[in-house]
Amino acid sequence: MATRKKCLVDTSVLIALFRKNEVARIALDSLAANDTYICDITFLEVLVGCSTAEKRNYTLDSLAPFRLLKYNEKISDKSIQLMKRYCIQQSGQPMLKLADCLIAAFAIYHKMELLTFNKKDFDFIQGIAIHPMSK
């Protein structure tokens, strides 16, 4: 039996899911619950977008099935390394944004594929495995 790769879900996928995007729903439904993770950065990114108690409660319920990875010193070190390397635009590549840097550090540190709709935000980062999706 083949080993399933653990998957880190990017904020873009969760936002699409909350907006009733079928591609996001099908992709997440196809992953085993014990192989699907979010990091605390993603958790906070989607929570900060809640403008009402109802939206907050819906978001918290929706995030409950995911396994939560927490920021630590090793991820901090990786984040700093990535930002030093990609903080300025290089060869036409975009500058790395803070939240994307932190999410990429989680994916690299934990050796997980990053499930994302925003491949362009990560594909220039060496050492990251991307599972790109299209809406």
Residue 7 has a pLDDT of 94
Q: Which residues of the chain, if any, have pLDDT below 50? A: 1-2
Residue 128 belongs to a domain: yes
Provide the angle, in degrees to the nearest 10, between the axes of the packed helices 53-63 and 11-18: 120
Token output for 2: 């083949």
User: Does residue 86 fall inside a structural domain?
Assistant: yes
Residue 81: the pLDDT is 96
CATH number at residue 74: 3.40.50.1010
How much is the pLDDT for 52? 95
Give the structural domain span for 91. Answer: 7-132
Domain assignment present for residue 124? The answer is yes
Greatest alpha-carbon pair distance for the chain in Å reads 45
Residue 1 lies in a domain: no
Q: Residue 16: CB partners within 8 Å, gap ≥ 6?
A: 23, 24, 117, 135
pLDDT of residue 95: 83
Q: How many domains does the chain have?
A: 1
Among 16, 4, 70, which residue's Cα sits nearest to residue 38? 70
